[in-house]
Amino acid sequence: MDRNHPTPGGLWLPLVTPFRDGALDEASLRRLVRHYAAEPIDGLILAATTGEGLTLDEEEIERLVALTAEALAAAGRRLPVFLGLSCSDTRKLVKAVGRSAEWPLDGYLVTCPYYTRPSQEGMVRHFSALAEATARPIMIYNIPYRTGVNLGNAAMLELAARPNIVGVKDCSADMAQSCELLRRKPPGFAVLTGEDAFFHPMLTQGAEGGVLASAHVETRAFAAVRDLLRAGDGPGALAAWRAIGDLPQLLFAEPSPAPIKHWLWRAGLIDSPELRLPMTPVSEGLAARIGQAMERRRREAAS
């Protein structure tokens, strides 16, 4: 099988979308992109779950992509940028891919069709139609606890035979399914975990990386787990993971991305923790826990 696209791997960040007074906060977005351009990440994903993509209109998504490309260019960092797409109507999704054909993007992260619960054959046809509609690489996003449908490994491997379906963000939450996929997947098809708490164990099983919302925080520490395992230092990687293993639990204690936005706002990286309904701000209790965690890490870094 001839693949013309690089295999995604390493640490990918599903970037939050900053808002202020109901609108896209362009100043905060530029600040965020500049910040993460200086961090050891391997790719960015825009307007996906963490980026509240379902609340963005077409003009906002196009502006988000353009501003990100401009900020990366100004920072002098070349990073692959994928756009998150989610729709249960294959025709509409093909049109969305067509509209973005000239945008400064490197590929797409496409969620399994939600709510309608199509068959395995229906999902194979859905992703096949998208793969035929673009020459850009596509990463499948399998997250059955959000969509209501699980793309099984037989269907996944059928799709993996397509040259521009280059990988999956795996949120199956089924370690047996994930490990079977890792054993059977073809060369050039990447499995990136989207379960932040599974990052270290999935890497040890052969996953190519992760798409981790938690890596907005302590980005270099998450990258160190990746780097130590690549260098063959298993004990060092485990120690590095244990130092940050509590972060996913904290940052997903309430619906994401509210806790992450609160942390980034407290850290001065965005000007507001604002979300769009139906997402709501963190509770007072979680805000206090985040503040305590930030202070503890500040003291540890200073010692």
Known binding site for pyruvate: residues?
50, 211
Residues 75 and 37 sit within 8 Å (Cβ to Cβ): yes
* Phi/psi at 298 (5° precision): -65, -45
> Is the peptide bond between 187 and the residue preceding it cis, with omega within 30 degrees of 0?
no
Place of tokens 């500049």: 34
Q: Is 92 known to be catalytic?
A: no
Catalytic residue among 36, 108, 141, 185: 141
Encode 244-260: b = buried (16+ Cβ within 10 Å), e = exposed: beebbebbbbbebbbbb
Distance separating alpha carbons of residues 291 and 9, to the nearest angstrom: 32
Is residue 293 packed enough to be buried (19+ CB in 10 Å), middle (13-18) or exposed (0-12)?
A: middle
Catalytic residue among 36, 108, 169, 261: 169
Q: Is 169 known to be catalytic?
A: yes
> Is the peptide bond between 163 and the residue preceding it cis, with omega within 30 degrees of 0?
no
Catalytic residue ranges: 141, 169
